[in-house]
Amino acid sequence: MSCPICGEQTAQRWRPFCSRRCADLDLARWLNGSYTLEPVEPGPDELPDNSPDPDPSRRH
């Protein structure tokens, strides 16, 4: 397994990183907002159904 920061071989103590330096660099990236997740737009099957129920007798 290689370090995700520098590509060197990982060290057991700092896994998945090779050293404390790379672990600290990764932490700094998280803390300053360098790592972000892109927003995902819901697909048509995930949109809420706001239409009225055509058969109100089916309600629980």
Q: Which residue has the higher pLDDT, 45 or 36?
A: 36
Neighbours of 22 (CB within 10 A): 20
Question: In this predicted model, what pLDDT tens digit does every residue of 14-44 receive, in sequence order?
Answer: 999 999 999 999 999 999 999 888 887 777 7
On the 0-12 / 13-18 / 19+ scale of CB atoms within 10 A, 5 is: middle
pTM exceeds cut of 0.85? no
The domains of the chain are located at: 1-33
16 preceded by cis ω (within 30°)? yes
pLDDT at residue 40, rounded to an integer: 79
